[in-house]
Amino acid sequence: MASLTGKIAWVTGAGSGIGQAAAIALAKEGATVVLTGRRRQPLQQTAATIKAAGGKADIKPGDLMKAAAVAKIAKEIAKKYGRCDILVNNAGLNILDRSWAKLTPAGAEQVIDGNLSSAFYCTSAVLPMMRKQKGGVLIHTSSMAGRNASLLSGPAYSAAKHGVVAMSHTINMEECVNGIRSCVVCPGEVATPILDKRPVPITPAERKRMAQSEDVGDLIRYVACLPPHIVINEVMINPTWNRGYVANLQRGKA
């Protein structure tokens, strides 16, 4: 029997990238996966891939930047399944005009709501279910920019992802007595569609050297499959060919 047979996993940002890879990996372990994102069509493609492999997937589109939309989806999950065992808080975004010289209040609001507020809303929505069942695991996609402030990612994204890291740790501090575990994943550069929003375009050759969505998806699967008495509080995952390290080496030789 697969490790997650009978478990209900809610994956946000499941239409592409890390969210899609995580959803497919969790389904292969036997979980019934609830897929959420703003656009229905990408979610349908993820669901089709899961079902073609014999897995179970349910589509629940919604704008996670709106607390009411999150609450509605969580209520539907509770009504249909009676539980939520795994939350993968992966939905996120960035913008082109991200430097302080170009960042507007509207841009900052979009980035903070898309990366931090949405994670808080989803977390708040599933915790009552997890407390009731005396267990559950939350896995949040932050970033290396959530550990080291990054001009490359921009101030709003860095601030939001730092917030996700802090949020995850406080869940463990408060909810460990309820058997609830929280892990924050901090990836370096991953070849996902969010790279299309970089001010300086990323070449196909550079993308091939980066971590891939499937790499992070498999890490999320591993965390979700851990026994209930173990939590990985925080984990970093990076490409071996780390462009930041390589740039520092080259500057050191100059």
DSSP output for 93-159: ---S--STTT--HHHHHHHHIIIIIHHHHHHHHHHHHHHHHT-EEEEEE--GGGTS--TTT-HHHHH
C-alpha 185/C-alpha 37 separation (Å) is 19
Does residue 222 have an active-site annotation?
no
Residue boundaries of the structural domains of the chain: 8-253
Alpha carbon distances (Å) from 234 to 5, 141, 153, 165, 241: 25, 10, 20, 8, 22
Give 72-88 pLDDT, tens digit per residue.
Answer: 999 999 999 999 999 99
Q: Over the stretch 85-137, which tens digit does the pLDDT of each residue have?
A: 999 999 999 999 999 999 999 999 999 999 999 999 999 999 999 999 999 99
Mean pLDDT (whole number) for 57-66: 98
Which residues are 36's β-sheet partners?
Answer: 12
pLDDT of residue 166: 98
Q: Looking at residue 252, what is its pLDDT? A: 82
**How far apart, in whole angstroms, are the C-alpha atoms of residue 81 and residue 14?**
19
**In the structure encoding, which two tokens stand for residue 133, read together?**
């069942």
Predicted pLDDT of residue 251: 87
Q: How far apart are CA 177 and CA 175, in angstroms?
A: 5
> pLDDT, tens digit, for every residue of 155-185?
999 999 999 999 999 999 999 999 999 999 9
The whole-angstrom separation of Cα 165 and Cα 142 is 7
CATH hierarchy code of domain 8-253: 3.40.50.720
Residue pLDDT, tens place only, 194-251: 888 888 888 999 999 999 999 999 999 999 999 999 999 999 999 999 998 998 899 8
Calpha distance 163→152 (Å, rounded): 18
The helix/strand/coil state of 174 is: helix
The mean of the pLDDT values for the chain is 96
What whole-number distance in Å separates Cα of residue 67 and Cα of residue 71? 6
C-beta of residue 84 within 8 angstroms of C-beta of residue 10: yes
Would you state the pLDDT for residue 1?
55
Which of 81, 121, 157, 222 is catalytic? The answer is 157
